[in-house]
Structure 1
């Protein structure tokens, strides 16, 4: 009996163990099935993502190809426009060179003839009114010749062909003719002309003398043009802070310039709005040309001015030669 009871208990335990194993197997099967479903869904989702990305890549490839073709077309058009622009610039340079020669020759002849007439080289001395007219002709001719030269120089600057030729020259070679000429012009207009040299300055200056005289001539001419009473002046000194440099100032007691226009006047072909430009004329090339020439010489030009109080242009140039 005991043996039968033990056998029944063993069979019961085995049956329970088998049920437990079957339950575990079913749970594992369900887990595997669920995981398999999740993997299938993930695979399907990834496949859809890959398809979408593939479509996007194909679309991007089409757009890139289209952009490449458009870029090639634009590149060809740009090359054609560049060639047209170069041709236009070449024609412009040839025209400016030709027209300047054609204008300079008669203008120089007109100036010589006017001087002769003023000096009374004809059969009769000019009357005061005739002399005034001749002086006006000479002045306008000089202005026109200066305008032609300024336009040509600006064209060379824009094209990058204008060169600075540095050399050591006596300072008096820069100042003597300017001081003599503008002292006389100022006197004719009833203005005082002030000229000042700082103490202990070098006797020579290392610069492009032709271009520096051109700049000073332009600034002094502007000072004379915009000053009806008082004085104009030229001063030259040396500043040792923050480094050794020439300081050349052109002052006047003229109409002055509003602060908001201090930058505009240095722009090419721009003038200060209002009556000033109309009253005194000009094309707006002078100060722009002065500024760019000074920058080519390694310097800077500054302006201090208020309306009705005059103007002061200061040029700062590095000192390369300190010979005295």
Structure 2
């Protein structure tokens, strides 16, 4: 008995959903927009497979990626207009990746979704970002990307060159050892939550930048990134002095990096992701997401719980 077309369409889409999610999230940086794009992709995919007499799709993976990428690009205009009215710095929505199984697509566990890289990708044009993500992160050749974007291969290579130079100028190829980054995150949180200005001055790089995304909805939100060790350290001490006293720190993998999720009264309060200098000795970037809308998908996980100010594993 032949397979039901609806069952086949659903199964094929489900088999590729994690890959599609990862690609689109890298293009948009927001889970809700990514889910909407995947829904649009399904609505384009399912009728195509149900149509009687339709030509068989020999490469469903390539077909679905093409649909998803183009739906994501079609939404970029509306997304950018929405961000123009966003209060304060905009950061990607934190994505917990420590629950991704080891058997999943390697791209789902790689630096492809790091907060620091996504912030840099925000400065690219939509087409440059699509080419960079597909080629540098997921390994698609330029000729295949040309087919996905309906552009000439020479145009894609030019976009790739511009995007690569732009990204590497702002984020050199460097990935901290996860153990080193976890230890640095612990030291940073201990100093920050303890209000230890001297310790912060030691761990922060001279040219450190701090982005705080509160969306105008969180206490202590700032309207622009803060640059420089002295300004960042004093701002952190001022903010943490007004933070809830019962903060719990849960060390999780966020956007591929060892990071900290802070909870107050068992509700997510903030996600803190740090970027290290190439020598791994100092913090060169701090990304703090406190907008409650962006924390709504963060779940309380008791394992690895640490009380504020503590650096010992529980």
TM range (shorter): under 0.3
Q: TM-score normalised to the size of structure 1?
A: 0.26
Q: TM-score normalised to the size of structure 2?
A: 0.27
Relative contact order higher in (CA < 8 Å, ≥ 6 apart): 2
